[in-house]
Each structure stands twice: as C-alpha cells, then as structure tokens.
C-alpha cells in the first residue's frame, strides 16, 4: 500500500513546490521508493526545481488521457535511485484531472512498488488542489508566518476534513504543519507571527520550521532540491522535518535569531 502525502497551503507562493521536492527527496534518501507528482496543471514548476525540465516528454495528464503509459511519463531522478518525478503539463486543461483518472494512476503507482506518493498541490481551492487533497492519507500544510497564509491553511484543513476521500469514508487525514520562510529576527521584532502563534491558531502538529534562506533560490536555480544542500540552513531544516514526519524526535533548529544576526544582515552576509 502506497501512502499519499499531499503538500498544500491554500495561499500561493508559500513554498509548496520547494517543500514537495525536498520532502520527496528526503523520503527517497531515507530509503523509501518515492514519486512526486505535479498537480499544478497549466503552470509546471516542480520539474524545474527537480532539475528535470529538459527530460519531460510525457506528463501526468497525458497518462490520464491515455496518450502515454505511466512508465513512459515517469522520470527517474539522476541523483537518487529511489526517486521519480511525474511532471505536469503546461498546455493541457485542468479539467483533464478527473477523479477516476487520478485515482487509477495512484493505484498503478502503488502497484509499481512506490511507498510514498508526494503530491505538489497548486494554490487555491480549484480542481487541481481538490484532486490532490481528495486522495491524501497525509497532508503537509505549508504556511508562512503571516495572518493571511495561516487563515488560508485553516480553510484548507476544513476542506480536507470534509471533502477528502478518507473523510468521506469516516476516517481522518493525518495533518502535519510545516512553517516556511521563517525569519526569527522579524518574529522577534513582531513583524511576523511566531511558530507558537501559528500552532496556536491552527492546532496541528508541527513537523518543521524552514528558515527564510538564500539557499532555496540557489537550489531552484540549479535544479537541485534544497534538502540535498547539506551546508544550508534550509536544507538541514528540511532534513529534520522529513525525519519528524517519519516519526523521529528532533529539536527545532534556526528558530531563534543568531547572535551576530543583525551585523551579518547589515553586511549582507550569511544565508
């Protein structure tokens, strides 16, 4: 049985795709056969962040519509043998994502022996997002520490617990909170919500806090999931988050301002 992990947020641009790539790579590194699917039909982003954009021939929608087989569309990651990518199409219509079609592909992926299916959800509550939510066993709610993002996450949690397949069958989707773009200095200055504030509002178990980091942009420019950058704060924070997702207990890093934080900010160093 494969476990479907949907990465979602409601609000756009909070770090879902960055997190999907990192979580999928982290699960693969931990020895689990993992596939990451881009549900953002019409935009395409995940393939860039995974560094496979030149290798996309067939995509998720072409498999659903029967133009290609799943094996033709799956892209094997060159760094991690346990990791595959299923890209989204830039051109096709969102309506191609039917419940039956998506469900069948997830079943086939499970038959191929994947343990984890990570779904990168688009923003909003439209078709792509609801499809990604529908089949979720676990949901990673990505939130930035600001009010509108937190509110949208609360909204998505409501949809998850009423409209998902698990909810409709009387069960519950496992919820995990991932706070991204966290800046402890701005939190201290009262310009951002603290991780405690966010947890208090959402009442969901926190699996990680990813700091605002230049390493993220650097990673996406080079097409390497940031979790593979072991010298970066964001990479380490993602590694910790995946370990917590898998049940390990780890202390939170990068959640209090560094001593020399202010000076290094003025001098523009550090990341």
Ligand X SMILES: Nc1ncnc2c1ncn2[C@@H]1O[C@H](COP(=O)(O)OP(=O)(O)OP(=O)(O)O)[C@@H](O)[C@H]1O
Please check whether residue 224 is in contact with residue 51, taking contact to mean a CB–CB distance below 8 angstroms. Answer: yes
Minimum CB separation of residue 132 from another protein in Å reads 18
Q: Which is nearer to another protein, 35 or 156 (CB)?
A: 156
Which of 30, 199, 201, 243 binds another protein (CB under 8 A)? It is: 201
Pair type for strands 3-8 and 34-38 = unpaired
Q: Which is nearer to ligand X, 34 or 70 (CB)?
A: 34
Residues that bind ligand X (CB under 6 A): 9, 12-18, 40, 45, 122-123, 180-181, 210, 212-213, 216-217, 220, 234
Which of Mg ion, ligand X, another protein, none sits in contact with 232, Cβ below 5 to 8 A by type?
none
What are the tokens at 126?
């439209």
Q: Which is nearer to ligand X, 70 or 237 (CB)?
A: 237
The yes or no reply on residue 217 touching another protein (CB under 8 A) is no
| CA–CA gap between residue 212 and residue 58 (Å, rounded) | 34
The yes or no reply on residue 180 touching Mg ion (CB under 5 A) is no
The answer to whether the Cα torsion of 251, 245, 210, 23 is positive or negative is positive
The yes or no reply on residue 157 touching another protein (CB under 8 A) is yes
Q: Which is nearer to ligand X, 122 or 184 (CB)?
A: 122
Which of 32, 33, 151, 186 binds another protein (CB under 8 A)? It is: 151
Which of 6, 17, 232, 239 binds Mg ion (CB under 5 A)? It is: 17
Minimum CB separation of residue 42 from another protein in Å reads 24
Q: Which is nearer to ligand X, 45 or 153 (CB)?
A: 45
The yes or no reply on residue 159 touching another protein (CB under 8 A) is yes
Please check whether residue 24 is in contact with residue 36, taking contact to mean a CB–CB distance below 8 angstroms. Answer: yes
**Span near another protein by CB under 8 A; candidates 47-55, 105-113, 195-203, 249-257:** 195-203
Q: Which residues bind another protein (CB under 8 A)?
A: 151, 154-155, 157-159, 161-162, 201-203
Residues at the site binding Mg ion, with contacts judged by CB under 5 A: 16-17, 45
């Amino acid at each position: 049985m494969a476990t479907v992990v949907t990465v979602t947020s409601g609000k756009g641009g909070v770090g879902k795709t960055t997190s999907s790539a990192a979580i999928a790579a982290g699960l693969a590194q931990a020895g689990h056969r993992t596939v990451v699917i881009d549900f953002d039909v019409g935009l395409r982003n995940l393939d860039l962040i995974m560094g496979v954009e030149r290798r996309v021939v067939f995509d998720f929608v072409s498999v659903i519509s029967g133009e290609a087989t799943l094996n033709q569309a799956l892209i094997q990651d060159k760094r991690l043998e346990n990791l595959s990518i299923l890209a989204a199409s830039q051109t096709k219509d969102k309506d191609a994502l039917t419940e039956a079609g998506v469900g069948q592909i997830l079943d086939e992926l499970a038959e191929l022996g994947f343990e984890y299916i990570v779904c990168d959800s688009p923003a909003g509550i439209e078709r792509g997002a609801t499809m990604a939510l529908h089949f979720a066993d676990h949901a990673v709610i990505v939130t930035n520490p600001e009010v509108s993002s937190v509110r949208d996450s609360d909204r998505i949690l409501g949809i998850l617990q009423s409209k998902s397949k698990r909810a409709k069958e009387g069960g519950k989707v496992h919820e995990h909170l991932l706070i991204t773009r966290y800046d402890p200095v701005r939190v201290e200055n009262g310009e951002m919500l603290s991780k405690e504030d966010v947890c208090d509002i959402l009442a969901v178990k926190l699996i990680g806090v990813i700091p605002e980091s230049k390493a993220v942009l650097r990673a996406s420019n080079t097409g390497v999931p940031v979790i593979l950058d072991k010298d970066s704060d964001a990479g380490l924070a993602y590694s910790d988050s995946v370990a917590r997702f898998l049940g390990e207990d780890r202390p939170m890093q990068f959640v209090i301002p560094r001593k020399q934080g202010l000076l290094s900010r003025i001098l523009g160093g550090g990341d």
